[in-house]
Structure 1
C-alpha cells in the first residue's frame, strides 16, 4: 500500500513539473497571445488621430508648436513611395525645429513592413509625426463639406487629388500652418517662408498653385477660397480647385494674377511668392530634372534665384520612370544624394 502511494505521489509531481515546463514554452511561443500582441504593436508605425484635434487648436499648438507643416497621403494604400520619403527627409533635416505632420487619410494604421524607408526616417527625424485623418471629419463645418460629401464620388478619376485639395484647405482653416505636397525637394530652411503666415505660391508668371501654401487659422481670405471652391467645383476637372484659387485672388483683390505675383504683398493681407522661390522649374520644363543633359545649367539657375524648394511634379516623375541611383547623374538624383541620402541609399537598383 505504501509503495503504491509513493509511486502515485511521484507520478503527480512529475505531471506537475511537466505542466509547469509546458506553460513556460507557451509563454515563449511566438504563436501565444502575449507574443502576438507584442509583434502586432511593433508591426505598425506610431500615429496619432489628427481628427480628434481639429476642433481643439490650442491643444494642437501646445503639442506641436506654432510652426507646423502639413503633408498628405490620400491614396489609402498606407504606403509612402521612396521619392516621397526623400521629399520628407530633405524637408525635415533642413528644418529640425519645425514639426512635419504627415497625415494618411481614412486609414486606421500604417504598417511598418510596407514602409521600411519611412520607419528609418522616423528613427532619425523626431520632428516628423505620422497622423491618421478622417476626411469627413476634416471638412465638416467648412464650405467644401458639400462638394466633398455630395459631388466627389468614389469612382471619380480624380478622387485622390481632389480629396487632398479639400483636406489641405480644411486643415489650414481649422488649425493654421503651412502645407506642402510630397513632390517637393527642399533645398533650404523654410522659416523665412512659414513666418509669412498667409501666403500662396506661383508656378508660372501667370498662375497660382495650391501645392505649397500657408494660412493662419480662420483667415478670411482662405474662407473666400473655400467658398469659391464650393460654388465652382467640377469633379471632372483635374485643376478645378487651382482655378478657384486664382479666381478668388482676382475677385477679392480686383487685380490680375500677373499683377498679384508682381506685387508680392497684397494690401498686407496676402503674400504671393514668385515661381522661382518655390517652383523654379516649370511644368513645361520638368522632364529635364530627370535627365542628365544640362544639369550644371539647372544648378546655376537654382543658385542664382535662391530657390527654397523645387517642385518635381508627380505626373512628370511618373512619366520619366525609374532612375539608376548609382550611375544616373540627372539633377534630381544628384539633389537626392545630397538632401535625402538615407532614402536614396535604400534604392538598390532603381530610384
Structure 2
C-alpha cells in the first residue's frame, strides 16, 4: 500500500505544476475524443479473414477513419456457418444494402455513359440501316461489336477489320457500336470505304434487339437496376449478348475485334469453335464465342440467349461468354433439331492464350526461323483465323520476322503501322 500512496502523492504533486496540468488535461481530452469517435462512427462492410489452422474467426470492420472495430461472431466448425452476435445483427444488412446500392448507382452511371440501353432518333433507325446495308450484294455478312470509347479503336482492331476484306473483298461488315457510329468513327473507317469495301458502324437499338427474346426481361431488370451487374466490365457482358441478338435477328458471322481472318468463311454454316480438346479422347473441353457462324433464328443461338438471361452472373469471368456456350452445347449437342458443327481449335484458336506471346517474338536463331516458317504455313493451310487473346497480347509489339508480322503483312489491306499494337 505504501508504494501506491507514494505514487499517488507524486502524481498529485506533479499535477500541481502548470505544465503538468496542461499535459494531463490534453491527454484526457484525446482519450475522450477517441472514445467518442469509436462509439459514433458509422461502420462499413466487414472484411473477413479466416485461417485454416485456427478455430477462431477474426473479423474486423474498417471505418472511414481507419479505426478497427471488432465484430463478435460465433463460428460453427461442423458446417462452417458464421453467425453475427445479436447486438450487431442489424448493422450487417444495412451495410450490405449500402454496398449494393452503391454498385447499382455505379452501374447506372456506366449505362448513361455508354448510352447503349436507351433508344433515340439514331438507334431507332438501326433495323432499317442494317437491312439497307446488307442489301448490297454481300458475299458474307459479318458483325463485330465495340462498346468502348471510339478513341480505343486502334491499330489492332483496324487490322482485324482489314483482314476481313482481304479474304472477303465482297463481304459486308457491320460494327455494332454507338461510339464508332460517329464522325470520328467514320474517319477511322474512311480509308477502307475509299477502297470500295463495305463497312459501316451502326448504333444498336437494344430494346429492339431484345424484343420477343428471352433477354427482354433481363434487359428490363438491368435497366431499372433490379439486377446486380456484378464486377465484370459492363462492355464485356453487353458484347456477349449483343453478338447473339444480332445473329438471332439477321444471321451471319460474328468476329471479335482481336481476330485476324486468314481464310474465306463462305463454306462455313452454323459453326462454333472449340478452344481446347482432350488430348486422349479428342473431345472438346471448352468452346469459345469469339467466332460464331449461324443462320437467322437458329435454335442454338436462341438457347444461348436464354441461358445468358437465366443464369447471368456479372461476377464470374467467362460465365456469360465461353463458359455459357460450353454449358449449352454440352446439353444439346446430341439432341435432334440442333444442326451445327464444332470445329477443332486449329480453326479459330490455333494458339493457346498462354502461348500467344511467342507469335509476336522475332526468332533468335535458325531453328526459330524454321519454326516461324512452319507455323505460318500450318496456319495458312488449316486455320480460318487466329484469335489474339487481346487481354494477354494487347501491349506486345509485333516484332519484325515474327509469326504475327508475317500474318499481318499478308492479310492487311491498308498495311500501315504493322509493327504497332
Report if TM-score (shorter chain) is over 0.5: yes
Which one of the candidate residues 332, 343, 346 is aligned to 1:276?
346
What is residue 245 of structure 1 aligned with on the other side?
A: 325
Higher Cα Rg: structure 1 or 2?
2
Q: 1:204/1:298 Cα in 2 relative to 1: closer, same or farther (>3 Å)?
A: farther
Q: 1:234, 1:268 → 2: CA distance?
A: 26
Asked if 1:111 corresponds to 2:175, the answer is no
What is residue 165 of structure 1 aligned with on the other side?
A: 240
Q: 1:250, 1:83 → 2: CA distance?
A: 33
What is residue 411 of structure 2 aligned with on the other side?
A: 339
Contact 2:171 2:198 in 1 (8 A): yes
Asked if 1:95 corresponds to 2:95, the answer is no
Q: 1:124, 1:56 → 2: CA distance?
A: 21
Shift of 1:77: 3.1
Q: 1:303, 1:85 → 2: CA distance?
A: 24
Contact 2:272 2:288 in 1 (8 A): yes
Q: 1:65/1:77 Cα in 2 relative to 1: closer, same or farther (>3 Å)?
A: closer
Which one of the candidate residues 146, 156, 178 is aligned to 1:73?
146
Structure 1, residues 116-165: CA drift from partner, whole Å, max 9, x if none?
55321221242222222233432333222343453476784421111111
Asked if 1:147 corresponds to 2:221, the answer is no
Larger RCO (alpha carbons 8 Å, 6+ apart): 1
What is residue 62 of structure 2 aligned with on the other side?
A: none
Note the 1:257-296 alignment, pairs <5 A.
Answer: 269-293=339-363, 294=368, 296=370
RMSD: 3.1
Q: How many pairs were matched up?
A: 283
Contact 1:292 1:329 in 2 (8 A): yes
Q: 1:191, 1:249 → 2: CA distance?
A: 23
TM-score by length of 2: 0.60
Contact 1:148 1:166 in 2 (8 A): no
**Partner SS state of residue 153, structure 2:** coil
Q: 1:120/1:310 Cα in 2 relative to 1: closer, same or farther (>3 Å)?
A: same
**Partner SS state of residue 102, structure 1:** strand
Structure 1, residues 304-331: CA drift from partner, whole Å, max 9, x if none?
352120111111222x43446xxx3221
What is residue 312 of structure 1 aligned with on the other side?
A: 388
Mind listing any 5+ residue stretches in structure 2 that lack a counterpart? 1-120, 278-284
Mind listing any 5+ residue stretches in structure 1 that lack a counterpart? 1-47, 256-265
